A and B are shown apart, each in its own frame.
Chain A
Amino acid sequence: MTLAPSNTPGPIPLGLARRGFSGTVQHIHATNAHSSLAASELESRLIELGFVEGARVEILHEGIVGRDPIAVRVENVTIAVRRREAMAIMVA
């Protein structure tokens, strides 16, 4: 597995990354996202969609309003998610 190059030192939330970003999931920090879901529920859902530690992610597309939502390639699946929830996914 090749780690994609990243200019930022340390993990950043996926919710702040721009289109074209690629990296790997470092950890899930569900209390970071001010989601309407409880932190444990959000964490479970993100894992069910494949966001686990070590998974390769790449932001493929952004929506028009506030660059939201984003379409993220997670390994070989494409997932659409809002930036609010993507704040929980720490990537580097």
Chain B
Amino acid sequence: MEAPLLHFALVGTPNSGKTALFNALTGSRQKVANYPGVTVERKEGSFVTPSGRQVSLVDLPGTYSLRGRSPDEEITRDMVLGRTPGEAPPDLILCVADATNLRLTIRLLLELKNTGRPLLLVLNMFDIARRRGVSVDIEKLSQALGLPVTTSVAVRKNGTVELLRLADDLIANPMLPGPDHWRPLTAAELRATQREADRIIAATISLPARPDTWTARIDAVVLHPVAGLFILAFILFVMFQAVFAWAQPLMEILSSAFAALGAWVHDILPPGLLQSFLQNGVISGVGSVIVFLPQIMIIFLCILLLEDFGYMARAAFLMDRIMGGAGLHGRAFIPLLSSFACAIPGIMATRVIDNRRDRLTTILIAPLMTCSARIPVYTLIISAFIPDQQIGGWVNLRGLVMFGLYAAGIVSALAVSFLIKFFMWRDYEPAPFMLELPDYKLPRVRSIAIGVYTRAKMFLQRAGTTIFSMMIVIWFLASFPPPPAGAEGAAINYSLAAMIGRTLEPVLSPLGFNWQIAVALIPGMAAREVAVAALGTVYAIEGGKEAAEQIGQVLATKWSLATALSLLAWYIFAPQCASTLAVIRRETGSWRWMAVTFTYMLVLAYAASLVTYHVALALGAG
């Protein structure tokens, strides 16, 4: 008979390297980050001990205590206490501590002991601690705490051998759960446990005289009130330049590869529906989206690097009061910065904000941050309409326009937040900002690579499923019904797509949008980047093979500059993403907030486009 599955749980303070240990044990593809509270989802994995026992491991959100003051911390508390419905109480809790920084974890551990659950202390990052001159009397610490203690180096190969061996020992001779004495601690009790923790640390651990000098040196510059802000602005600026300029060569390679593939299909197939479907529907449609893979990988690379390095918490520190002016909490900076990659992880990351009103404001404005799905649309229009010039020798004009679009998103997000605070929550005091600034750590290539790879894979899967199926629908709408015999002009003018587009045209024509744009905007509701492919298909079917290969040049001849600028303005604001709306519905637990987000963004988009179009016309860009 097979032995029953064992349930282990990882508990620890933020930045204890809990997630890194989780990855090391389970080989899971979860990202390792430095920002406190990045683990906001239930993460489960499994591993097999050296003796062959199957263990299910759950990675609980980081917390300093079991009081459960945010949704995240409540999850940790309820799981530890075995109160979560449908979850087995853990057979063993692995309490993970950063070995260089034990003070707060030992206090948490003393509180965990009250729950009566079998408990094991893992001193993680033991190599760094040893290098810094921290020496731990493990035997004595184990006696003082009354529980087994082991060490690990999560980011090294074989760094978990000791831990696995001890796990096997504990499986063979299980510790039995004791009675559950836990109740929320009062301030006096918290103080007493911290004193007890400090006493145990003094008796068993010798701390080095020298703290982490690198962190101090970097912070002296990076957290400087003036220089720090310039560095932050510079980092963001380089990120956006990188997204536009560095990705270009790779994108051109991908683009010509798809064009060649399309031409090849065109040559080997007889003219007809199948040829049109493969070349215009599949290859040019999906290809025009996949071309943006390099840009999306670069933006995720930047965000993961900053997170793993430990810079994100510093950015929150620098931005706290500045964002406070707009009614935002310093902690909102991380979710908002993640929203540059995608609003969905950004909105999920707002769970680290414990105040409900601060959290709602952040959720409402997160979709205004320029997500990576807008990049294809922006890039296409910018490269078609903005000349490729250098300004002052090193700033690329196109990169500058891109930066301007990002800036417009940020400024409008701050303005919306300010208005929300002013009109809805005027009487409300700001929630406190308290955040640990972790020591800097060199990002691990493997962890970054896994992160970027996961994101690239998700993007390609989207291209392969959502975008692909959308493209088929658009191709169908643009190709059927076929024009009547003897009809004049392009076939698409007789299609369903043209009928739909012309129905919407009266509403959108004040914005300078023609019916082709209207057709592209509808599937763009499912995913923004589809609009690019949709335009490609519409114009390709209208204009033939050449149009499919050179969509940008076709647009440049078909649209006025005013229309192009109007569409850019539309994309800054428009709620063009069904998944984001679904996540808002889930995270706020109400349809109302989803409807509010959708409506206000649509209104802003329409207004912004209307103004942009007419101002551009007045300036002679018609």
Contact = CB atoms under 8 A, between A and B. Distances in A.
Interface string A39-75: 0111111111110111000001111111111010001
A67 B185 CA distance: 33
A53 B191 contact: yes
Contact of A69 (B67, B191, B194, B317): B317
Contact of A63 (B101, B313, B320, B438): B320
Contacts of B224: 61
A61 B434 contact: no
Indicate the member of A28, A82, A84 with the most B CB atoms within 10 Å: A82
Interface residues on B, range: 35 or more
B432 A63 contact: no
A80 B316 contact: yes
Question: How many interface residues does chain A have, given as a range?
Answer: 35 or more
B113 interface: no
Given A76-B103, A77-B101, A63 B316 contact: no
B65 interface: yes
Interface string B86-118: 000000000000001101100100000000000
Given A60-B219, A71-B437, A80-B435, A47 B187 contact: yes
Given A47-B190, A68-B321, A79 B437 contact: yes
A19 to B, nearest CB: 9
B318 A63 contact: yes
A31 interface: no
B356 interface: no
Contact of A79 (B226, B229, B430, B434): B434
A42 B551 CA distance: 59
A71 B104 CA distance: 17
B433 interface: yes
Contacts of B330: 69, 80
Contact of B225 (A48, A53, A62): A62
B226 A64 contact: yes
A69 B437 CA distance: 12
A75 B198 CA distance: 10
B436 interface: yes
A44 B190 contact: yes
A35 interface: yes
A65 B432 contact: no
Nearest to A60: B219
A60 B221 CA distance: 12
Interface of A: 28, 35-37, 40-50, 52-54, 60-69, 71, 75-82, 84-85
16 contacts: A28-B187, A48-B64, A50-B104, A50-B194, A61-B219, A62-B225, A63-B318, A66-B321, A68-B320, A69-B320, A69-B330, A75-B103, A77-B103, A77-B104, A78-B215, A79-B436
Interface of B: 64-65, 67, 69, 100-101, 103-104, 107, 185-187, 190-191, 194-195, 198, 207, 211, 215-216, 219, 223-226, 228-229, 313, 316-318, 320-322, 324-325, 330, 355, 428-439
Complex A-B, nearest 6 residue pairs according to Cβ-Cβ distance, in ascending order = A36-B429, A65-B321, A64-B225, A48-B64, A61-B223, A78-B437
